[in-house]
A = this chain, B = another copy of it.
């Protein structure tokens, strides 16, 4: 480990996170769900969604935005639709509440959707599509965020970073999973470039007049761009519509207005779709679904990396050993533990 990197066991990380979150006012259910997901991400060396996010969740409670003890309310809307009102709690409890119903509905109807409303969302989408794929279902998930991204040909922010995730079951193997922001760069990366005073990559942002810029300061005043030009922009618009008005929740512009400058994790909705191969294929499902394996072989056989391969490699590496974490994050968490009067378990 370099001087910038420390290590921590999953158990110690869970214990620290749980104690911090409950001390700050989160219910046990909230604290458990949040800590489980950030420890999982940290074990996959997905640092941007790892233990560092506990700090965001503490910030969220300090700004008085989240209801840290909210209990999600489930509503069976239609044979293939379940909605969960997270009641201004963290999205994860809503997902956990909705998942068994989504699974049952998908396996009965063949395809089903879970809408999570009124939730604060800080986590990656891959743990959710992975969990669904591990149940033998195909999964699609998406959320809006805060309006920082301009549409193709425009200059003013309308879209969020609007992530889109997909999971495909592979039997005993890890599911095929991807999870990407439809913005050309992560919002946090612009902030990192601003702090370190280094130029942005070309083609990811525009200034307030709509001119391409690599100056992080000018980009913060202007807008980010979507990935993939007008096609990425169209996809981002689709996500605004599906995870916004379709499920009766906020668009990225509305979510940013709701934030009122608090600059915390966005409050909005999430749409999750699950498809059941057995309903499509019947008895042929087991054989047909292996058609995916030929595709994966054709990709990885030419040394092109499958999405998530790096994350799964990290997971294997960190099984049964302490996982790496940025020392600065661990130092911040320990300082917060002292502030909240939390002692190590």
- Do B109 and A158 touch across chains, with their CB atoms under 8 A apart? no
A280 to chain B, nearest CB (A): 6
Q: Which of A43-51, A63-71, A85-93, A302-310 is the interface stretch?
A: A302-310
Q: Which of A7-15, A25-33, A76-84 is the interface stretch?
A: A76-84
Q: Per-residue CB proximity of A294-324 to B under 8 Å, as 1/0?
A: 1100110011110100000000000000000
Rounded to whole angstroms, the CA-CA distance of A112 and B216 in the bound complex is 44
Rounded to whole angstroms, the CA-CA distance of A168 and B239 in the bound complex is 11
Q: Which residues of A contact B (CB under 8 A)?
A: 77-81, 83, 108-113, 115, 138, 150-156, 158, 166, 168, 176, 178, 180, 182, 227-235, 237-238, 240-242, 244-248, 251, 253-254, 273, 275-277, 279-282, 284, 288-292, 294-295, 298-299, 302-305, 307
| Nearest 8 CB-CB pairings of A with B | A228-B228, A154-B304, A245-B291, A78-B110, A81-B110, A80-B109, A153-B304, A78-B279
Rounded to whole angstroms, the CA-CA distance of A305 and B153 in the bound complex is 7
Contact of A178 (CB < 8 Å), options: B112, B228, B234, B253: B234
Rounded to whole angstroms, the CA-CA distance of A260 and B78 in the bound complex is 46
Residues of B within 8 A of A302 (CB): 150-151, 154-156, 158
Rounded to whole angstroms, the CA-CA distance of A233 and B176 in the bound complex is 13
Residues of B within 8 A of A77 (CB): 110, 279-280, 282
Residues of B within 8 A of A245 (CB): 277, 288-292, 295
Rounded to whole angstroms, the CA-CA distance of A273 and B113 in the bound complex is 11
Rounded to whole angstroms, the CA-CA distance of A289 and B240 in the bound complex is 12
Given contacts A154-B304, A277-B246, contact A231 B228 (CB under 8 A): yes
- Do A110 and B108 touch across chains, with their CB atoms under 8 A apart? no
- Do B168 and A241 touch across chains, with their CB atoms under 8 A apart? yes
Rounded to whole angstroms, the CA-CA distance of A78 and B112 in the bound complex is 12
Copy count, this protein chain: 2
Residues of B within 8 A of A234 (CB): 166, 178, 180, 307
Closest to A253 in B: B298
- Do A111 and B294 touch across chains, with their CB atoms under 8 A apart? no
Residues of B within 8 A of A244 (CB): 291-292, 295
Rounded to whole angstroms, the CA-CA distance of A169 and B106 in the bound complex is 25
Residues of B within 8 A of A289 (CB): 245-246
- Do B113 and A110 touch across chains, with their CB atoms under 8 A apart? yes
Residues of B within 8 A of A79 (CB): 79-80, 108-110
6 extra A-B contacts, CB within 8 A, seeds A77-B279, A228-B228:
A78-B280, A81-B109, A150-B304, A154-B299, A156-B302, A248-B288
Given contacts A178-B234, A234-B166, A246-B280, contact A109 B295 (CB under 8 A): no
